Structure 1
Amino acid sequence: MAAVTSARRSVTVAPGPSGLVEALWVAHGPHGAPPRVALPDGRPAAVVRLGGPVRWVDPLTRETEVIGSVLRGPRSVPQVVLADDPAAPSFEVGARLAPWALSALRPDGGFLVDDHRPLAAVLGLDEEGLAARLRAGDPEDAAAVARALEAELVAAVRRPVPAGDRADLERVVRIADTERGLVRSIDLARSVDRSLASLHALFAAHVGVTPAAFLSAVRLSCAVRELGVDDRGDAPRVVAVLRSYADAGYPQREVERFTGLSPLELRRAVRGMEEVLATV
């Protein structure tokens, strides 16, 4: 599947059977990537940037960081992602990982919740060698380029998640995704014959966030994507959806349930994203 925006081509690639990687993508173009809003979705990701780096902007604090090739953990707050040099060519290869992936990869820094580390530093990958392999591939052959990254990630697994734990995690994640996050933590626990305390322990050991926080992230990302909004390339529409939600007057409990943010935090985040995008 490919989408073209201002001569930028973005292609998604089906991953292999390992289960470590949920999705792969390759995006390249003659100019910097368009602004986007990185929504929480409960997943970590690995990204190799072969063109210019990007700037991540926290809409609540306005802190800005220039980021190259990284392994990042699950997020709790949307972030604005801007090209550091809009005139520089962009070339990005990425992998959305399974929620339990960082437990298997065991990176320095733990689960990296709302954090990230350089790929080479946390996984011991030969980042320059990997980048050279990816550059040598034809960007039009997206599958080969993306699977080179996938192969490196699978090879970097240090301690596989025990089969029983992984089966339970995959089941509850599948239910959470199918129900768009609109399910209770206790229902997830019952689906795998666990107590709520046992489910919390499972997530603490292998995901790094609570079941409730994971469900909030799934709800927020699904709320935007269900409206047909491309959260990888249509930042203004993503922010418009969040703005309409912030202005709808829902009770505080409902706002927190659907977004993981309080009404005040959501309004601050939306205002921050609007102000950041207005400068682009």
Structure 2
Amino acid sequence: MAVDQVPYARYDVVVPGLVEHAWVTRRGEPHREILLPDGRGLLLLVVDGSATTIDATSGAERADASGVRGLMTRPAVRVADGGGARLGLQLHPLALATLGSSPLVDAWAPAQVLVGESAVDDATAALRAADDDGAVRILVDALVARVAARSVAHDPERERFAEVVARVDALHGAVTVAELARFVGVTVSDVFRWSQRYLGVVPADYLAAVRFSVFVRRAVGPGIVDPESVLSALRWYAGAGFPPREVERTAGLSVDELRRVEERVASWVGARTV
């Protein structure tokens, strides 16, 4: 089944610094989709169905299940049987730090660690009953309640780093660490320290994730990402003859990394590499 035929609904629910939007996908035919590293975390609720995610560079596999993760640094493919429903809350890059969680870079933890057992159970029941609005509301309210319940000291450095994150978004990741440091009036080492403290990665990895996501989105548009469309974009760009530095600045990957991702995506769709 083509991914553009998979039922997908986006919810423009925004909690500044915490939730950027929500989405729900429902039953369809078996399909594959690309999961992009975009510099954001995700709170995911999966009801029924069966799917596997495969890392685009290492080939490591994991079951697609409910949970929370931080930033992804590499793309992955999701291979789904078409059953069940999935609800995702796209989290602000600093959401996990705000919630007191570990960064969870390329890693998953149970959803209950953020929103509690009751919220997960109630949202699961709502999603299973096709009350998607209710399921989204339950999870968002649980996140907001967790922030309200935490006794958090004022953190001026996190506020300054929030300016860095906003600048990265405004420039679609096409910015250097030195430029970010100058923008907020701090040192490069400050930006490195904040990135590792609040995101769990060095700035280069964060910027690369944002750049790759922007690169793909410009080629394929919003919503569920079709592997064939990604492969076409990767092949076009790899064959366009851009200088290596321009490739990395635009796509977030070196020429060799871009080629490896192209080969992995080609293997997923049964296409020959060129």
TM-score normalised by L of structure 1: 0.84
Mapping for residues 21-60 of structure 1, pairs under 5 Å:
21-32=19-30, 34-60=31-57
Structure 2, gaps ≥5 residues long: none
- Secondary structure, counterpart of 2:206 in structure 1: helix
Deviation at 1:222, TM superposition (A): 1.1
Q: In structure 2, what is the equivalent of residue 237 of structure 1?
A: 229
CA contact (8 A) 1:229 1:238 kept: no
Which of 119, 125, 143 is 2:116 aligned to?
125
Residue 161 of structure 1: how far off its partner (Å): 7.8
The equivalences for 1:184-223 within 5 A come to 184-223=176-215
The 2-side partners of 1:29 and 1:161 are apart by 44
CA distance in 1, matches of 2:168, 2:175: 7
Q: List alignment gaps of at least 5 residues for structure 1.
A: none
- What's the offset of the Cα at 1:36? 1.2
More helix by share: 2
Matches of 2:153 and 2:267, distance apart in 1? 42
The 1:231–1:136 alpha-carbon spacing in structure 2 relative to 1, beyond 3 Å, is closer
Q: Does 1:156 align with 2:153?
A: no
Contact 2:54–2:77 (8 Å) recurs in 1: yes
Greater relative contact order, per chain length (Cα 8 Å cut-off, separation 6+): 1
Share of identical aligned residues, percent?
Answer: 33
Question: 3-state SS of the aligned residue for 2:116?
Answer: coil
Question: Alignment partner of 2:26: what SS?
Answer: strand
Instruction: Encode CA deviations 1:214-254: one digit per residue, 9 max, x unaligned.
Output: 22211111112223434624221122212222233333333
CA distance in 2, matches of 1:167, 1:13: 27
Q: CA deviation at 1:193?
A: 1.7
C-alpha distance in 2 between matches for 1:161 and 1:232: 39
> How many aligned positions are there?
265
Q: 1:265 to 1:17 in 2, by over 3 A?
A: closer
Counterpart of 2:162 in structure 1 is: 170
Matched residue of 1:80: which SS? strand
Relative to structure 2, which stretch is displaced further, 172-181 or 258-267? 258-267
Change (3 A) 1:192 1:217: same
Other-structure match for 1:104: 98
CA distance in 2, matches of 1:268, 1:92: 29
Match for residue 67 of structure 2?
70
1:35 is displaced (CA, Å) by: 1.6
User: What is the root-mean-square deviation of aligned Cα atoms in Å?
Assistant: 2.5
* Structure 1 residue 46, shift from structure 2 partner: 0.8
Q: 1:254 aligns to what?
A: 246
> After the TM superposition, which parts of structure 1 deviate over 6 Å for at least 4 consecutive aligned residues?
none
Scaled by the length of structure 2, the TM-score of the pair is 0.85
Give the direction of change, closer, same or farther, for the CA distance of 1:231–1:148 in structure 2 (3 Å limit): same
1:9 matched to which residue of 2?
Answer: 7
Task: Please tell me whether the aligned partners of residues 34 and 76 of structure 2 are also in contact (alpha carbons under 8 angstroms).
Answer: yes
